Amino acid sequence: MAKKQFTLNTEPHEAQIGDDVTLLFAPEVDGDEFLDHYTELQDGLKELSVDLSDLANADVEKVRATKGVLRTFMSKLMLPESRAEFAGLKLPDRVLIELLEWAVELYGGGRPSGSSNGSVPASSSPGTRGRAPSRSRA
């Protein structure tokens, strides 16, 4: 008989922001619970019609509302002590979006499938693409 052992995370996940702030996230989140929160996030973003990859050109009030939707989603994944600290924490938009991408990867194993409207944009890869021909084409 084959045996497969699965481990569960028991230690909180840590998001270090700057030198002084560490936010603690739940060690494990039930898949359905995560999907429920993620669906609320997507619905909120869809309702606001804001492109997360182009916040600079969005209506200011919609950007504020979008940040509220993002913060609500993130806080639902945090431990209570970090949730309280996060409520008053001022963050640049880029950090908030990076934190969101990290949480989605952490709990969702990547982006959940479904409608792409309002979905979190993929992170751009660091550096520039090379111009050398692919080895597989050689």
At residue 110, the pLDDT reads 59
CB 101 within 8 A of CB 111: no
Q: What is the mean pLDDT of the chain?
A: 82
Domain map (residue ranges) of the chain:
17-109
What is the per-residue pLDDT across 57-110, written as a single tens digit (0 to 9) for each?
Answer: 888 899 899 999 999 999 999 999 999 999 999 999 899 999 999 999 999 875
Cβ-in-10-Å burial (0-12, 13-18, 19+) of 42 comes to buried
Residue 5 pLDDT > 90, yes or no?
yes
CB 21 within 8 A of CB 92: no
Residue 116 pLDDT > 70, yes or no?
no
